[in-house]
Structure 1
Amino acid sequence: MTSKANAGLISIWISLVSNIALTILKIVVGLLFASPVLVADGIHNAGDIIATVAALTSSMVSKKPADDEHPYGHGKAEVVASALVAVILAIAALWIGYHAVLTLREPPESVSLLPLTAAVVSLVWKQALYVYTIRVGRAVNSKSVLATAYDHLADVYASLAAVIGLGLAYIGERLDWSWAAYGDPVAGIVVSLLVLKLAYEMGTDAIDILMERNVAPGKLALYEKVIAGESEIRRIDRVRAREHGHYIIVDVRVGIPSHYTIQQGHDIGRALKRRIMDSDPDVVEVLVHMNPWNEGE
């Protein structure tokens, strides 16, 4: 668990440093060469810094052990950060779309090679960060790391739009293609819709977890299969499970013979808890409730 937590924190720290560097690069080059699209992308990256700080803080809080005030742990801190990132992405999407519409109404700007190079560097860098963080996020099952990865993916879309737009404008100037100057704003509008869709999916997922939606049917089926394999259990009354950020809590109600002693029921419950946790490494707690079962039921 410690090594997984460290891997997640390292990936978020790398993302934070990268976002700071890319923000400075885009804004400085954009201002020096009067590139509105690059400045807008840099401002978008500035919002990513806030999102990454939120992910870093929540990841550190979520690893704290359970206490008297938070008996189920602090895992949902990551979900709150994921919801915050979704809001930031939605704002960024609206910003990109608004800027793209304004650009459509303005005379096309002359494009230099350096802004185009900066956009390409950003695209490659962000794609590498996305691949890295999505792998780490899935490996450690961290909502904050996954939120950071999807934030990088949104940046990939934005950087791709900048590369397409700046590239078309740069080539269009040299080949006298007047229509090419509008490739940037059109690409920006498309990207804003993609980022808005991503924000919606992240936000609904975070809300579902905060509202304690049941886990995927496949996981429930796995837990039921494990329970059914216990010879002392005569009936499965209910199986529920909920995500708590990077871990899962399972709630089970089963029937055992009514003549069993409390000690026997206790031993069956402990064995069942261990088997469920062994079947799914994401499960950190199993609450088992025993109901009486009588012959003939």
Structure 2
Amino acid sequence: MAKQAPSTWLTAWIGLISNFILTALKIIVGVLFNSTALLADGIHNGGDVIASIATLGSMKVASLPADKDHPYGHGKAEDIGTVVVAIVLGFAGVYLIYESVHALFLAPHQATIWSLGAALVSLIWKQILYSYTISVGRKMRSKSLMATAYDHLADVWASLAAVVGIGVAWIGQLFSIPFTEYGDPFAGIVVSLLILKVAFEMGNKAIQVLMESSVSDEVKQGYQTIICSLPQVKRIDRLRAREHGNYILIDIRISIPGTLTIQEGHDITRYIRDTIMETYPDVEEVLIHLNPWYAEDQQPPDKSVPPSKENEGS
């Protein structure tokens, strides 16, 4: 539940400021030169400004320490921010499809070198932003930055469609090639579908975390290997692990020989916990419950304390 690193905040602020600048650039050039693709892409970038603000807000909340009302921390705030970004992307994708289809039934506007230049600037700028943000997001394991990076990637596709569409129309005007003026809206439709795909995958993963879904079987198998490496562990009765924002919480119930002392049981749990957390840096907490185990030819001692209902079926 550590605070966000300075590089994480810097990356988020760079994304927000860049989106402000690109939104203004695309809308102004799109209006001045009647570029439907550039104007639609500019409005799409306006949605990215909202997404960037949501990223900063969710990172701020997620960095708060655990408290009485949130004993497991505020890590899920980043998943909520990811859902917001996915929703913004979804609306942007639907809007771009509408604009692209609508443009097919309108008289095409003249393509200009200025519109093409603005689209190229956006394409290069967003590609640099995507590469930088995805690198920092993976290094810091920040889901908010990862969502922002994929938002930048969707912008790369949208800008690429604008470059191709405007470029084809511009070349078509120079050489009088028929139907090239409709390259822009057709490219816009394809890219819009890709944006919707990214929005669905991003939102679905974040919602699964918010719904307390388990980690993958492959990851759990790694935990099991560590647990079973101790000969004192006779059985794994239960193993549960779930994502909580940027970290993972694990709940383990194992059986060890009932003849071991409390100190020996404590040492076993400490070894399992420390080894898992050293092997998997994204694990924040490991809770381990011990059950007594006896061989078939052994009998458990008489119990002076009746078992609780919770442990009777263990």
TM-score range, shorter chain: over 0.9
CA contact (8 A) 2:86 2:199 kept: yes
| Structure 1 residue aligned with 2:158 | 158
1:176 aligns with 2:176: yes
Seen in structure 2, the aligned counterparts of structure 1 residues 123 and 202 have a Cα distance that, compared at 3 Å, is: same
Question: Does structure 2 conserve the Cα–Cα contact (< 8 Å) formed by 1:161 and 1:191?
Answer: yes
Q: How does the TM-score come out when normalised to structure 1? A: 0.96
Aligned to 2:309: none
Partner of 1:108: 108
1:214 paired residue number? 214
Partners of 1:259 and 1:2 in 2: CA distance: 39
Contact 1:242/1:250, CA 8 A, preserved across alignment? yes
- 1:56-76 deviations in whole A, cap 9, x for unaligned? 111121111111111111100
Amino acid paired to 2:189: I
Q: Which residue of 2 aligns with 1:253?
A: 253
Distance apart, 1:4 and its partner CA: 6.0
By how many angstroms is 1:229 displaced?
1.3
Q: Determine helix, strand or coil for the equivalent of 1:209.
A: helix
Aligned to 2:306: none
State the shift of 1:232 in Å: 2.6
Whole-angstrom distance in 1 between the partners of 2:13 and 2:2: 16
Cα pair 2:249 2:285 within 8 Å, conserved: yes
Give the Cα separation in 1 of the matches to 2:137 and 2:235: 37
2:35 corresponding residue in structure 1:
35
CA–CA distance in structure 1, aligned partners of residues 248 and 3 of structure 2: 19
Check conservation: 2:100, 2:185, Cα contact below 8 A. Answer: yes
**For 1:242-282, what per-residue CA distance to the aligned partner results, in whole angstroms no more than 9, with x for missing partners?**
11111111111111111223333223222211111011000
Partner of residue 140, structure 2: 140
Residues in 2 aligned to 1:247 and 1:2: alpha-carbon distance in whole angstroms: 10
Q: Does the Cα contact within 8 Å between 2:93 and 2:195 map onto a contact in 1?
A: yes
Match of 1:282 in 2: 282
1:93–1:9 distance in 2 versus 1, CA, 3 Å: same
Offset at 1:2? 6.0
Q: In the alignment, residue 186 of structure 1 is paired with which amino acid? A: F
Larger proportion of helix: 1
Note if contact 2:147-2:202 (Cα within 8 Å) is conserved in structure 1: yes
Structure 1 match to 2:90: 90
CA contact 2:8–2:145 (8 Å) conserved in 1: yes
Q: Percent identity?
A: 52
- How far apart, CA to CA, are the structure 2 residues paired with 1:127 and 1:296? 64
The corresponding residue for 2:239 is: 239
Match of 1:67 in 2: 67
Match of 2:128 in 1: 128
Please give the per-residue CA displacement for 1:72-122, whole angstroms capped at 9, x wherever unaligned.
111000000101111111000000000001100001101110110000010
Gaps in structure 2 of 5+ consecutive residues: 298-314
Distance 2:248 2:47 in 1: 31
State the SS of the aligned residue for 2:5: helix
Q: Distance in 1 between matches of 2:67 and 2:233?
A: 32
Query: C-alpha displacement at 1:15, in angstroms?
Result: 0.6
Quick check: which has more Rg, 1 or 2? 2
Deviation at 1:129, TM superposition (A): 0.8
Question: How many correspondences in the alignment?
Answer: 297
Query: C-alpha separation between the residues in 2 aligned to 1:156 and 1:290?
Result: 52
> How far does residue 291 in structure 1 lie from its aligned partner after superposition?
1.1
Bigger shift: residues 69-78 or 236-245:
236-245
Partner of 1:26: 26
The more displaced of 100-109 and 8-17 is 8-17
| Distance in 2 between residues matched to 1:79 and 1:151, nearest whole Å | 15
SS at match of 1:178: coil
SS in 2 for 1:25: helix
Q: CA deviation at 1:241?
A: 0.9
**Residues 3 and 64 in structure 2, CA contact (< 8 A), matched pair in contact too:** no
* Contact 2:127–2:153 (CA under 8 A) maintained in structure 1: yes
Matching residue of 1:267 = 267
Instruction: Please state how far the C-alpha of 1:219 moved relative to its aligned partner.
Output: 1.3
Any conservation in 1 of the 2:3–2:63 contact (CA below 8 Å)? no
TM-align CA RMSD: 1.5
Aligned to 2:296: 296
Residue 240 (structure 1) shift:
1.5
